């Protein structure tokens, strides 16, 4: 459950120098959410960020979108810094990241637990210390050949279109679900 009540930080993981790859699908989804919400992402020291306040039910919820500039495997420090900047606990964090363990075009929410072999999530867990209680939206990319080459491969056109459209809407529903829990909690 989100402790901060009506404020959440939504982070999309990716590699800024490698847009359009499977590994950067989190960045792609943040861009699509920014478009949906009318949020302009601005460049800051640690990443690209933008904030808006919307009504979830009848309660205003402040949502900050964030794309770390750091490479995927060292994204923990800028994510931790963004939480501190906004004075939010880890339970107010939603991290969107690629997942080899899930079929393409699927979304799997999770709260807490291990990094599941994902180096970007591992970096965030390490940066947050013992408090790994944050929300994760694992974006299925499937698995093919050498994992390193596969995740750095370009998203297929249908995958990109899905995550910019229907898939982003699925992500949005999960964000609303998390925020609704905060409003009720």
**Residues classed as catalytic:** 23
Give the count of beta carbons closer than 10 Å to the beta carbon of residue 149: 9
Furthest C-alpha separation in the chain: 48
Alpha-carbon distance of 103 to 2, in angstroms, equals: 28
Instruction: Give the other-Cβ count within 10 Å of 73's Cβ.
Output: 14
Q: How far is Cα 44 from Cα 160, in angstroms, rounded to an integer? A: 26
Angle at 93 between CA 89 and CA 98, to 5 degrees: 150
């Amino acid at each position: 459950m989100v402790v901060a009540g009506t404020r959440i930080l939504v982070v999309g993981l990716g590699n800024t120098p490698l847009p359009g790859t499977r590994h950067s699908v989190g960045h792609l989804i943040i861009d699509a959410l920014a478009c949906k919400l009318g949020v302009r992402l601005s460049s800051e020291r640690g990443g690209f960020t933008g904030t808006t306040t919307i009504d979830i039910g009848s309660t205003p919820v402040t949502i900050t979108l964030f794309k770390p500039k750091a490479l995927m495997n060292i994204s923990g420090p800028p994510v931790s810094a963004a939480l501190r900047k906004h004075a939010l606990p880890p339970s107010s964090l939603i991290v969107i990241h690629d997942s080899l363990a899930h079929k393409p075009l699927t979304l799997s929410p999770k709260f807490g637990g291990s990094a599941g072999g994902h180096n970007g999530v591992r970096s965030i867990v390490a940066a947050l210390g013992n408090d790994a209680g944050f929300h994760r939206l694992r974006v299925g990319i499937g698995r093919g050949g050498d994992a390193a080459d596969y995740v750095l491969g370009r998203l297929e056109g249908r995958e990109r279109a899905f995550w910019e459209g229907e898939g982003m809407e699925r992500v949005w529903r999960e964000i609303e679900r998390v925020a609704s829990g905060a409003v009720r909690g």
